[in-house]
Protein backbone atom coordinates (compact mmCIF):
# COMPACT_ATOMS: atom_id res chain seq x y z
CA UNK A 1 0.00 0.00 0.00
CA UNK A 2 1.59 3.28 -1.04
CA UNK A 3 1.19 6.36 1.13
CA UNK A 4 0.73 8.64 -1.83
CA UNK A 5 -2.34 10.85 -1.71
CA UNK A 6 -4.14 11.86 -4.88
CA UNK A 7 -6.24 15.00 -5.08
CA UNK A 8 -9.52 13.77 -6.55
CA UNK A 9 -10.27 17.19 -8.10
CA UNK A 10 -7.10 17.68 -10.17
CA UNK A 11 -5.40 14.26 -10.02
CA UNK A 12 -2.09 15.51 -8.59
CA UNK A 13 -0.15 12.83 -6.67
CA UNK A 14 1.47 13.96 -3.40
CA UNK A 15 4.18 11.92 -1.68
CA UNK A 16 4.12 11.45 2.13
CA UNK A 17 6.85 14.07 2.56
CA UNK A 18 4.44 16.73 1.19
CA UNK A 19 1.46 16.21 3.55
CA UNK A 20 -0.88 19.01 2.50
CA UNK A 21 -4.39 19.22 3.95
CA UNK A 22 -5.54 21.14 0.91
CA UNK A 23 -4.15 20.54 -2.59
CA UNK A 24 -2.10 23.66 -3.47
CA UNK A 25 -2.92 23.24 -7.16
CA UNK A 26 -6.68 23.37 -6.47
CA UNK A 27 -6.29 26.10 -3.83
CA UNK A 28 -4.75 28.35 -6.49
CA UNK A 29 -7.11 30.86 -8.10
CA UNK A 30 -6.81 29.08 -11.45
CA UNK A 31 -8.49 25.99 -10.00
CA UNK A 32 -11.15 25.25 -7.39
CA UNK A 33 -12.07 22.98 -4.51
CA UNK A 34 -15.30 20.99 -4.74
CA UNK A 35 -18.33 22.36 -2.81
CA UNK A 36 -17.81 19.88 0.06
CA UNK A 37 -14.08 20.64 0.35
CA UNK A 38 -10.92 18.69 -0.39
CA UNK A 39 -11.27 15.04 -1.39
CA UNK A 40 -8.27 12.72 -1.35
CA UNK A 41 -7.96 9.26 -2.80
CA UNK A 42 -5.13 6.75 -3.24
CA UNK A 43 -3.42 5.06 -6.19
CA UNK A 44 -4.89 1.71 -5.07
CA UNK A 45 -8.45 3.02 -4.93
CA UNK A 46 -8.09 4.73 -8.31
CA UNK A 47 -6.61 1.60 -9.95
CA UNK A 48 -9.45 -0.47 -8.49
CA UNK A 49 -12.21 1.61 -9.99
CA UNK A 50 -10.74 3.12 -13.16
CA UNK A 51 -8.71 2.14 -16.19
CA UNK A 52 -6.91 3.87 -19.05
CA UNK A 53 -8.43 3.85 -22.52
CA UNK A 54 -6.60 4.70 -25.72
CA UNK A 55 -8.23 5.96 -28.90
CA UNK A 56 -6.47 6.26 -32.20
CA UNK A 57 -7.03 9.76 -33.60
CA UNK A 58 -4.53 9.62 -36.45
CA UNK A 59 -1.97 7.11 -37.79
CA UNK A 60 0.56 8.51 -35.32
CA UNK A 61 -1.60 9.93 -32.49
CA UNK A 62 -3.36 8.13 -29.67
CA UNK A 63 -5.50 9.93 -27.11
CA UNK A 64 -5.26 8.50 -23.58
CA UNK A 65 -7.97 9.05 -20.99
CA UNK A 66 -9.19 7.59 -17.71
CA UNK A 67 -12.54 5.78 -17.72
CA UNK A 68 -14.82 6.56 -16.06
CA UNK A 69 -13.75 10.19 -16.10
CA UNK A 70 -11.55 11.22 -13.17
CA UNK A 71 -10.28 14.57 -11.84
CA UNK A 72 -10.54 17.30 -14.47
CA UNK A 73 -11.15 14.77 -17.23
CA UNK A 74 -7.87 15.59 -18.90
CA UNK A 75 -6.49 13.69 -21.89
CA UNK A 76 -2.90 12.90 -22.76
CA UNK A 77 -1.46 12.20 -26.20
CA UNK A 78 0.82 9.34 -27.15
CA UNK A 79 2.54 10.54 -30.32
CA UNK A 80 4.47 8.07 -32.46
CA UNK A 81 7.63 9.16 -34.19
CA UNK A 82 10.35 7.25 -36.06
CA UNK A 83 13.08 8.64 -33.79
CA UNK A 84 11.19 8.09 -30.53
CA UNK A 85 7.67 8.48 -29.19
CA UNK A 86 6.55 11.28 -26.93
CA UNK A 87 3.85 11.54 -24.30
CA UNK A 88 2.29 14.99 -24.27
CA UNK A 89 0.87 15.71 -20.82
CA UNK A 90 -0.15 13.02 -18.36
CA UNK A 91 -3.23 11.40 -16.92
CA UNK A 92 -3.20 10.41 -13.22
CA UNK A 93 -3.33 6.63 -13.76
CA UNK A 94 -0.84 4.29 -15.42
CA UNK A 95 -2.17 0.71 -15.53
CA UNK A 96 -0.53 -2.45 -16.85
CA UNK A 97 -2.52 -2.68 -20.12
CA UNK A 98 -1.58 0.87 -21.19
CA UNK A 99 2.02 0.24 -20.15
CA UNK A 100 2.06 -2.85 -22.39
CA UNK A 101 0.36 -0.95 -25.22
CA UNK A 102 3.00 1.80 -25.13
CA UNK A 103 5.82 -0.75 -24.98
CA UNK A 104 4.39 -2.59 -28.03
CA UNK A 105 4.60 0.72 -29.89
CA UNK A 106 8.23 1.36 -28.94
CA UNK A 107 7.98 2.97 -25.50
CA UNK A 108 8.63 6.62 -24.77
CA UNK A 109 11.65 8.77 -25.54
CA UNK A 110 10.28 11.68 -23.49
CA UNK A 111 7.32 13.11 -21.64
CA UNK A 112 6.60 16.82 -22.03
CA UNK A 113 4.13 19.04 -20.24
CA UNK A 114 1.98 21.99 -21.11
CA UNK A 115 1.59 23.09 -17.45
CA UNK A 116 1.13 22.00 -13.79
CA UNK A 117 -2.51 20.86 -14.10
CA UNK A 118 -1.15 17.75 -15.79
CA UNK A 119 1.81 16.77 -13.61
CA UNK A 120 -0.33 14.17 -11.75
CA UNK A 121 1.71 10.94 -11.50
CA UNK A 122 4.44 11.89 -13.97
CA UNK A 123 7.11 10.01 -12.01
CA UNK A 124 5.25 6.70 -12.50
CA UNK A 125 5.27 7.20 -16.26
CA UNK A 126 8.90 8.34 -16.34
CA UNK A 127 10.04 5.42 -14.14
CA UNK A 128 8.15 2.90 -16.28
CA UNK A 129 9.70 4.09 -19.53
CA UNK A 130 13.04 5.42 -18.25
CA UNK A 131 12.62 8.71 -20.06
CA UNK A 132 13.09 12.41 -19.27
CA UNK A 133 10.21 14.67 -18.28
CA UNK A 134 10.47 18.14 -19.82
CA UNK A 135 8.97 20.98 -17.78
CA UNK A 136 9.51 24.69 -18.29
CA UNK A 137 11.59 26.15 -15.46
CA UNK A 138 9.10 28.98 -14.84
CA UNK A 139 6.70 26.44 -13.30
CA UNK A 140 9.30 24.62 -11.19
CA UNK A 141 7.70 25.70 -7.88
CA UNK A 142 4.51 23.86 -8.87
CA UNK A 143 6.33 20.52 -8.93
CA UNK A 144 5.49 18.93 -5.57
CA UNK A 145 7.04 15.55 -6.31
CA UNK A 146 10.18 16.14 -8.35
CA UNK A 147 11.43 12.76 -9.49
CA UNK A 148 14.88 12.02 -10.92
CA UNK A 149 13.67 12.16 -14.52
CA UNK A 150 12.48 15.78 -14.44
CA UNK A 151 14.54 18.03 -16.73
CA UNK A 152 13.74 21.73 -16.62
CA UNK A 153 14.09 23.77 -19.77
CA UNK A 154 14.49 27.52 -20.23
CA UNK A 155 13.76 30.17 -22.79
CA UNK A 156 11.17 30.37 -25.54
CA UNK A 157 11.76 27.04 -27.27
CA UNK A 158 13.23 23.60 -26.77
CA UNK A 159 14.07 21.62 -29.88
CA UNK A 160 13.28 17.91 -29.71
CA UNK A 161 13.76 15.46 -32.60
CA UNK A 162 12.30 15.23 -36.13
CA UNK A 163 11.65 18.98 -36.05
CA UNK A 164 9.41 18.74 -32.99
CA UNK A 165 9.71 21.59 -30.51
CA UNK A 166 8.29 22.80 -27.23
CA UNK A 167 7.28 26.45 -27.29
CA UNK A 168 6.72 28.48 -24.13
CA UNK A 169 3.85 30.92 -24.60
CA UNK A 170 2.94 31.64 -20.96
CA UNK A 171 -0.45 33.13 -20.10
CA UNK A 172 -2.35 30.53 -18.10
CA UNK A 173 0.90 29.77 -16.20
CA UNK A 174 4.27 31.46 -16.83
CA UNK A 175 5.60 28.10 -18.06
CA UNK A 176 2.55 27.24 -20.19
CA UNK A 177 3.82 25.64 -23.36
CA UNK A 178 2.70 23.93 -26.52
CA UNK A 179 4.15 21.07 -28.57
CA UNK A 180 4.62 21.69 -32.28
CA UNK A 181 4.94 18.63 -34.53
CA UNK A 182 5.55 19.52 -38.18
CA UNK A 183 5.14 16.02 -39.60
CA UNK A 184 1.58 15.20 -38.54
CA UNK A 185 -0.26 17.51 -40.97
CA UNK A 186 0.71 19.60 -44.01
CA UNK A 187 1.23 22.85 -42.08
CA UNK A 188 2.06 21.33 -38.70
CA UNK A 189 0.12 20.22 -35.63
CA UNK A 190 -0.04 21.90 -32.23
CA UNK A 191 -0.89 20.21 -28.92
CA UNK A 192 -1.76 22.99 -26.49
CA UNK A 193 -3.09 21.55 -23.21
CA UNK A 194 -4.98 24.61 -22.05
CA UNK A 195 -2.43 27.21 -23.07
CA UNK A 196 -5.33 27.77 -25.48
CA UNK A 197 -8.72 26.14 -25.10
CA UNK A 198 -11.02 25.26 -27.95
CA UNK A 199 -14.65 25.95 -27.12
CA UNK A 200 -17.20 23.07 -27.29
CA UNK A 201 -18.48 24.46 -30.61
CA UNK A 202 -14.95 23.96 -32.03
CA UNK A 203 -15.39 27.46 -33.53
CA UNK A 204 -13.62 29.57 -30.92
CA UNK A 205 -10.22 29.47 -29.22
CA UNK A 206 -9.92 31.07 -25.78
CA UNK A 207 -6.73 32.23 -24.08
CA UNK A 208 -7.35 32.79 -20.38
CA UNK A 209 -5.70 32.90 -16.97
CA UNK A 210 -8.27 30.46 -15.56
CA UNK A 211 -10.80 28.52 -17.62
CA UNK A 212 -12.95 26.99 -14.83
CA UNK A 213 -13.07 30.31 -12.95
CA UNK A 214 -13.56 32.38 -16.15
CA UNK A 215 -10.67 34.73 -15.28
CA UNK A 216 -9.24 36.62 -18.24
CA UNK A 217 -5.64 37.52 -18.96
CA UNK A 218 -4.68 41.19 -19.32
CA UNK A 219 -5.19 42.39 -22.87
CA UNK A 220 -1.46 42.91 -23.43
CA UNK A 221 -0.85 39.24 -22.58
CA UNK A 222 -3.40 38.05 -25.16
CA UNK A 223 -1.77 40.39 -27.67
CA UNK A 224 1.69 39.02 -26.89
CA UNK A 225 0.58 35.37 -27.18
CA UNK A 226 -1.36 36.08 -30.36
CA UNK A 227 1.75 37.67 -31.93
CA UNK A 228 3.78 34.55 -31.05
CA UNK A 229 1.10 32.31 -32.60
CA UNK A 230 1.16 34.29 -35.84
CA UNK A 231 4.66 32.98 -36.43
CA UNK A 232 4.01 29.33 -35.64
CA UNK A 233 2.76 27.38 -38.66
CA UNK A 234 -0.05 24.92 -37.92
CA UNK A 235 -3.31 23.72 -39.41
CA UNK A 236 -4.38 21.31 -36.66
CA UNK A 237 -4.92 21.97 -32.95
CA UNK A 238 -5.51 19.49 -30.12
CA UNK A 239 -6.74 21.06 -26.89
CA UNK A 240 -7.50 19.92 -23.33
CA UNK A 241 -10.65 17.80 -23.53
CA UNK A 242 -11.83 15.01 -25.77
CA UNK A 243 -13.33 16.25 -29.05
CA UNK A 244 -11.66 19.65 -28.65
CA UNK A 245 -9.73 19.31 -31.86
CA UNK A 246 -9.67 21.55 -34.91
CA UNK A 247 -8.39 20.10 -38.18
CA UNK A 248 -9.88 22.65 -40.57
CA UNK A 249 -9.75 26.46 -40.80
CA UNK A 250 -7.78 26.71 -37.57
CA UNK A 251 -6.06 29.97 -38.49
CA UNK A 252 -9.34 31.55 -39.56
CA UNK A 253 -10.87 30.47 -36.24
CA UNK A 254 -7.85 31.83 -34.37
CA UNK A 255 -8.15 35.14 -36.24
CA UNK A 256 -11.86 35.54 -35.40
CA UNK A 257 -11.16 34.49 -31.79
CA UNK A 258 -8.36 37.04 -31.37
CA UNK A 259 -10.56 39.74 -32.88
CA UNK A 260 -13.05 39.12 -30.05
CA UNK A 261 -10.22 40.14 -27.72
CA UNK A 262 -9.65 43.25 -29.84
CA UNK A 263 -6.39 41.80 -31.15
CA UNK A 264 -5.61 41.63 -34.87
CA UNK A 265 -4.22 38.38 -36.21
CA UNK A 266 -2.84 37.50 -39.61
CA UNK A 267 -4.36 34.18 -40.67
CA UNK A 268 -1.59 33.48 -43.16
CA UNK A 269 1.47 32.34 -41.22
CA UNK A 270 4.62 34.23 -42.08
Residues near Zn ion (CB under 5 A): 7, 9-10, 23, 25-26, 117, 194
Nearer of residues 148 and 212 to Zn ion, judged by Cβ: 212
Inter-axis angle of helices 219-230 and 250-260, nearest 10:
160
Nearer of residues 29 and 59 to Zn ion, judged by Cβ: 29
Phi, psi angle pair for 236, to nearest 5°: -140, 135
Strands (E), 59-203: 61-67, 76-79, 86-88, 110-112, 133-136, 150-153, 157-159, 165-168, 177-181, 189-191, 197-198
Nearer of residues 8 and 184 to Zn ion, judged by Cβ: 8
First-to-final CA distance of the chain = 54
CB 74 to Zn ion: min, Å: 9
The residues pairing with 238 across neighbouring beta strands, listed in sequence order, are: 191, 245
Nearer of residues 81 and 168 to Zn ion, judged by Cβ: 168
How far apart are alpha carbons 121 and 14 in whole angstroms? 9
CB 114 to Zn ion: min, Å: 8
CB 12 to Zn ion: min, Å: 5
CB 49 to Zn ion: min, Å: 18
Residue 51 is inside which H or E element, if any?
A: strand 51-58
CB 238 to Zn ion: min, Å: 15
Nearer of residues 194 and 235 to Zn ion, judged by Cβ: 194
Amino acid sequence: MSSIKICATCGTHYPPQRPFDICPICDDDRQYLPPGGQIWTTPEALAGSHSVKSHRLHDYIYELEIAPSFAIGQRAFFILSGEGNILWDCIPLLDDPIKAFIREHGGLRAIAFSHPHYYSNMNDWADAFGCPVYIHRSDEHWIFNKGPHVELWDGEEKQLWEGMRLINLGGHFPGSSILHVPSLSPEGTVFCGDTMVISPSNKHIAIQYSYPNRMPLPGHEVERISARLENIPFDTLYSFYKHLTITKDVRMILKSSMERYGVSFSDGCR
